[in-house]
Each structure stands twice: as structure tokens, then as C-alpha cells.
Amino acid sequence: MFPPVPTSASSCPRSRPEARRLASWSLLCAGLLLLLAACAGPWRLRLSRDADLAALLRDYQQLQALPAAQLQARYEEEAARYAAHGDNALRLSLLLLLPDAPFRDPARALTLLRAYGEQAPEGAGKHFAALLGQLVGDGQKNAVLYQTVRAQLEAVRLEKQALERTCQQLHAEAKASQAARQQCRKQLQQERQLVENLQKMIDELKHIEKRLHERKRPQMPAT
């Protein structure tokens, strides 16, 4: 009926849009569970000054459809009311948990929920705050896990790039070394050929010198 909601830090990290959609579903599920419990249980859940829980959830759904300017104005209104009276902690917490809202602050929402749970009388509001606080806390753990895994993946990516650069450098050095060896062999062959040519010239000079020496040798008179 509803998409699965991660409940521990060991769950696989999800993308940010998916995580926010799951958070929105979690809020609605939490409210429905508490309303069902109120109808089935032998006791009545008393609500705090934050108004009826069903109306609170309807208001949360309507907030998601508001334009950005109206949503910001609503947030400022609820924040000012909380600063002045402190009686709208649940509404302000839901505002702070809205997906993609510029003022979204799950950490502050969790602080408000915990403070509300400690002070609120026994009732639907207190139970809703506890359940929602647990969901937000688990979401923060998953966010930390996501950031950790993302950092590790980034480190692996950077290490892979460094290894690739090292391999490219070694390949270039090996290629340059091979070219240097080929050039050295070529120079050796040229020098060997030069030595052979010089040796031939020396041999020819010696032969010429020998012939000249023989010509200059005085001839013995015939008897």
C-alpha cells in the first residue's frame, strides 16, 4: 500500500528526492496509525493545543501545494507564533519537514518534537510527536550513512583517477624509454658503420703507403 520506509542506519541510502517522498509518506502513515488506534482502543486519545490531529495532517497536505511565497509566509507566521507562545510545535515541525522547502530543517524539527513530547500531556499529539521523532531520527541516521557512503565512493573515484594518471605516466615513460632504446641502437649502428668505414680507409691508406714505399725502394742493377 505504501512504499517501504527505512528504519535503521543499516538501510541502503536513497536519492534525495526519493528520501523526501518517503518522509512525506511516513508523516501521513504515522497520523493514520494514531487515528486508527484512537478509534479501536478502550481509551480516548486527548489532543493538545496544537488542534485536531486529522486537521493537522490535512493542513500538512495542503502546505505541500502552496506556492513558494505563501509557504515562506506561512513558515514565518508559525515560527513567530512559536517564539511568542510555544503552542504550535507540531505544526512548525511539519513545516520544517516539508520536502524541498527552503527552510527545511529536520534537526530543528527533531528538537521541537522531543521537547513537545516531554511537555505534552498523554494523548494523540504526544504519541504522534514520538513516532514522528523516531522517523526523523532514523532519517537523519540514513542521511549520515548516505553522506558517508558518498564520501567513500568519492574517495574511491579520486583514487581510481590517481591510479589511471599513474598508469598513463608509466605508459608514457615506457614508451619514451622504448623510443630512447631504439634511438640508442640506431646511433650504435651508425657508429659501428662509421668505425667500419674508417677501418677500410685506414686499410686502404696502409696499402697505398706500402705501394709507395715499394716504388721508392732502389732497384738493384742487373749483372
C-alpha torsion sign, points 122, 49, 68, 60: positive
**pTM of structure:** 0.48
* Residue-wise pLDDT tens digits, 19-70: 555 555 555 555 555 444 444 333 233 334 444 778 888 888 888 888 999 9
* Residue-wise pLDDT tens digits, 73-132: 999 999 999 999 888 888 899 999 998 889 999 999 999 998 888 887 887 778 888 888
* Residue-wise pLDDT tens digits, 165-196: 999 999 888 888 888 888 888 888 888 888 88
CA–CA separation, 107 and 6 (whole Å): 18
Domain segments of the chain as ranges? 16-154
CA–CA separation, 132 and 26 (whole Å): 8
Q: What is the mean pLDDT of the chain?
A: 77
Query: What's the pLDDT band for 214 if we cut at 50, 70, 90?
Result: confident
